[in-house]
């Protein structure tokens, strides 16, 4: 049996987290990227944060709806958080394994 390992550049984690924009707990999509750190996107308002800073908001109309839809799709696809999978992904991403 062949196992095809498809490694994404982002490791996505779904969480219920406080959104500073919505000022309440929302579904938040966490995307960990080895060399850039965590990007957090709110599934409700579409705002995102990188390194604790609010990302620049696009000027195009309807971006919030689109960003929120994308985040929601990622959130659903992320499934349950798997700590070991996250550690393995990070190690591979950092080049610790051949
Ligand atoms: Zn929000």
- Whether 1 maps to a domain, the answer reads no
State the pTM of this model.
0.83
DSSP state of 9: S
- Whether 44 maps to a domain, the answer reads yes
Residue 95 has what pLDDT? 86
Whether pLDDT at 54 is above 70:
yes
Q: How far apart are the CA of 13 and the centre of ligand 1, in A?
A: 16
Residue 18 has what pLDDT? 96
CA distances for 52 relative to 10, 19, 46, 91, 92, angstroms? 18, 12, 15, 23, 25
Domain limits at 62?
Answer: 11-93
Residue 16 has what pLDDT? 96
- Whether 79 maps to a domain, the answer reads yes
Whether pLDDT at 4 is above 90:
no
- Whether 98 maps to a domain, the answer reads no
Q: What mean pLDDT value characterizes the chain?
A: 89
Q: How far apart are the CA of 33 and the centre of ligand 1, in A?
A: 21
Residue 13 has what pLDDT? 95
Number of domains present in the structure of the chain: 1
């Amino acid at each position: 049996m062949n196992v095809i390992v498809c490694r994404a550049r982002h490791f996505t984690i779904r969480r219920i987290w406080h959104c500073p924009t919505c000022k309440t707990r929302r579904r938040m999509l966490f995307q960990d990227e080895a060399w850039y750190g965590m990007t957090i996107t709110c599934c409700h308002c579409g705002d995102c944060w990188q390194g604790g800073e609010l990302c620049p908001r696009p000027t195009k109309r309807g971006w919030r709806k689109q960003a929120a839809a994308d985040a929601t799709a990622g959130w659903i696809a992320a499934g349950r958080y798997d700590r070991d999978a996250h550690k393995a992904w990070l190690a591979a991403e950092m080049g610790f394994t051949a």
